[in-house]
């Protein structure tokens, strides 16, 4: 865009089929694919998540079909490496999470998720694990695998430690002290306790927890983003206890997150002045519609995979039974509106492939729970051990008591 090119490894968000005449014969034509890397998108936002999904689904195809010849092809291996190099490239950011612009994932419009949104981090972690499994051993990939392993360790700790919130952590944030210097600061991101919204104090159940939507210096986005939390369970980004806590929260807040049609893309919706400022008064992302608290049937399959992995199929079965009551009669809409998902979205397209596929995949997984294994990854014990070693060998952690009575900031 404006003579600026995307980095190698960026995958297109979509393709358009274009008919062009053949050079040798004016009467003959052929169809070619025009990729969209964001230059034709609303807001001109590059799709960060498409490359990550490509790696995840490539592994799933191999596990499902037993055909590993596709992922072993030279051009496919090159594609995996290009995506990894783009994601693992050094920059100004000091966090292990991926720094991205607003609208770079499933929520592809301005919704205040710029920076380090949870969905991208969960897909990033999953893609790293899947890529490590598929990369063929060769001299050129040794450095890449080393960088990949280091990132996996740092990313898993960062998300589990700083994105996680439950009643205990919420009370801890409520008592945070600010403006803390030094390596031993408890409030590392200088979060101000006044950021805790009144809705969260009332909404947080005593049993359960979730990963917040975003974390940056002096900013925590406390909204519940469904895809990021569900895929964190599926990929093993969170611990077993945290995975169960996320499902506990879904059960506890069923009326808010499921209601009349699964599943809320995020909760709660932005309203009033906050909606105006954060979305730019987006007429499509009005409160409880589309990406701003709308309900998306396609999320049924991610919910089901997470439930299958944690051996809690009853949650997914209950959600599917809710959807079955009306989704076919409503002609498979893209999304639903209102707080309880009672209305078909005002701009919702009908007969949507991903709404139909989300329901069918959920039904098939409930019938054959073992099939979920093609998409899930387990908590990596080697990564946990590697992180423990990193912590113990960190010189900053080994510093003893200061000999000076006073410390000075230079």
38 and 60, same domain (yes or no): no
Specify the residue for token string 């294994």: 373
- What is the percent of the chain where pLDDT is above 70? 92
Q: Are 32 and 22 in contact (CB under 8 A)?
A: no
Residues 128, 135: Cα–Cα separation, whole Å: 10
User: Is 202 contained in some domain?
Assistant: yes
pLDDT at residue 389 is higher than 70: no
Q: Would you state the pLDDT for residue 26?
A: 73
Segment 357-383 shows an average pLDDT of 90
The CATH number of residue 54's host domain is 1.50.10.10
Residues 180, 177: Cα–Cα separation, whole Å: 7
Segment 237-265 shows an average pLDDT of 97
pLDDT at residue 227 is higher than 90: yes
Residue 80 CA, distance from chain mean position: 19
Rounded (5°) CA angle 112-118-122: 150
23 and 116, same domain (yes or no): no
| Three-state DSSP string of 83-97 | HHHHHHCCCCCCCCC
pLDDT at residue 391 is higher than 70: no
7 and 124, same domain (yes or no): no
Q: Would you state the pLDDT for residue 392?
A: 59
Work out the mean pLDDT of the chain and round it to a whole number: 91
22 and 154, same domain (yes or no): no
Segment 266-295 shows an average pLDDT of 97
15 and 139, same domain (yes or no): no
What's the pLDDT tens digit per position in 92-130? 989 999 999 999 999 999 999 999 999 999 999 999 999
pLDDT at residue 269 is higher than 70: yes
3-class state of residue 10 by DSSP: coil
* Cis ω for the linkage preceding 263 (within 30 of 0): yes
pLDDT at residue 402 is higher than 60: no
User: Is 407 contained in some domain?
Assistant: no
CA dihedral for 112, 116, 122, 128, sign (positive or negative): positive
Segment 58-87 shows an average pLDDT of 95
pLDDT band of residue 42 (cuts 50, 70, 90) is confident
3-class state of residue 159 by DSSP: helix
Segment 172-192 shows an average pLDDT of 92
pLDDT at residue 187 is higher than 60: yes
**Pick from 222, 272, 271, 253: which is nearest to 340 by CA?**
253
Segment 289-310 shows an average pLDDT of 98
14 and 126, same domain (yes or no): no
For residue 139, what are the domain limits?
A: 47-390
pLDDT band of residue 229 (cuts 50, 70, 90) is very high
User: Is 404 contained in some domain?
Assistant: no
pLDDT at residue 390 is higher than 60: no
What's the pLDDT tens digit per position in 310-329? 999 999 999 999 999 999 99
Give all strands (DSSP E) within 177-257, no chain letters: 209-216, 219-225
Q: What size, in residues, is the chain?
A: 410
- Domain tally for the chain? 2
User: Is 395 contained in some domain?
Assistant: no
User: Is 397 contained in some domain?
Assistant: no
**Backbone φ, ψ for residue 256 (5° rounding):** -90, -40
Distances (CA, A) of 89 to 48, 92, 183: 14, 10, 26
3-class state of residue 301 by DSSP: helix
Specify the pairing of strand 209-216 against strand 164-166. antiparallel
User: Is 401 contained in some domain?
Assistant: no
Residues 268, 256: Cα–Cα separation, whole Å: 9
Q: Would you state the pLDDT for residue 67?
A: 94
Segment 162-191 shows an average pLDDT of 94
Give all strands (DSSP E) within 11-150, no chain letters: 14-21, 29-36
Provide the whole-model pTM: 0.91
Q: Are 123 and 52 in contact (CB under 8 A)?
A: yes
175 and 41, same domain (yes or no): no
**Helices 118-134/48-65 angle, 10° precision:** 40
**Pick from 226, 188, 180: which is nearest to 341 by CA?**
226
What's the pLDDT tens digit per position in 127-160? 999 999 999 988 778 889 999 999 999 999 999 9
325 and 192, same domain (yes or no): yes
CB atoms within 10 A of CB 159: 26
118 and 34, same domain (yes or no): no
* Cis ω for the linkage preceding 268 (within 30 of 0): yes
164 and 222, same domain (yes or no): yes
């Amino acid at each position: 865009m404006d003579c600026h090119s995307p980095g190698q490894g960026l995958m297109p968000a979509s393709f358009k089929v274009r008919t062009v005449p053949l050079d040798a014969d004016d009467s003959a034509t052929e169809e070619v694919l025009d990729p969209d890397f964001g230059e034709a998108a609303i807001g001109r936002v590059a799709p960060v998540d498409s490359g990550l999904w490509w790696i995840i689904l490539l592994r799933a195809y191999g596990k499902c079909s037993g055909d590993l010849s596709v992922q072993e092809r030279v051009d496919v291996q090159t594609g995996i490496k290009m995506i990894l190099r783009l994601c693992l490239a050094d920059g100004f950011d000091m966090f292990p999470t991926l720094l991205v612009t607003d609208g770079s994932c499933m929520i592809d419009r301005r919704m205040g998720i710029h920076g380090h949104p949870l969905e991208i981090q969960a897909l990033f972690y999953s893609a790293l694990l899947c890529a490590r499994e598929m990369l063929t051993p060769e001299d050129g990939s040794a450095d890449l695998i080393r960088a990949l392993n280091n990132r996996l360790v740092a990313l898993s700790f960062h998300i589990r430690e700083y994105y996680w919130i439950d009643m205990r952590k919420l009370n801890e944030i409520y008592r945070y002290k600010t403006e803390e210097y030094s390596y031993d600061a408890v409030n590392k991101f200088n979060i101000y306790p006044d950021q805790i919204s009144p809705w969260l104090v009332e909404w947080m159940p005593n049993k359960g927890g979730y990963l917040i939507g975003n974390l940056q210096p002096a900013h925590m986005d406390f909204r519940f983003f469904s895809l990021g939390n569900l895929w964190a369970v599926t990929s093993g980004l969170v611990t077993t206890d945290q995975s169960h806590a996320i499902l506990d929260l879904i059960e506890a807040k069923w009326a808010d997150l499921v209601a009349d049609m699964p599943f809320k893309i995020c909760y709660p919706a932005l309203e009033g002045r906050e909606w105006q400022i954060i979305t730019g008064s987006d007429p499509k992302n009005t409160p409880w519609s589309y990406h701003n608290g709308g309900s998306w049937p396609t999320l049924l399959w991610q919910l089901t995979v997470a439930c299958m992995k944690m051996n809690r199929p009853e949650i997914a079965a209950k959600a599917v039974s809710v959807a079955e009551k009306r989704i076919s009669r409503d002609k498979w809409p893209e999304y639903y509106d209102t707080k309880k998902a009672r209305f078909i979205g005002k701009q919702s397209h009908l007969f949507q492939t991903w709404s139909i596929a989300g329901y069918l995949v959920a039904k098939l997984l409930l019938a054959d729970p073992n099939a979920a294994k093609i998409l899930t990854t387990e908590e990596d014990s080697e990564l946990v051990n590697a992180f423990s070693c990193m912590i113990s060998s960190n010189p900053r952690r080994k510093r003893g008591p200061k000999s000076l009575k006073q410390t000075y900031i230079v």
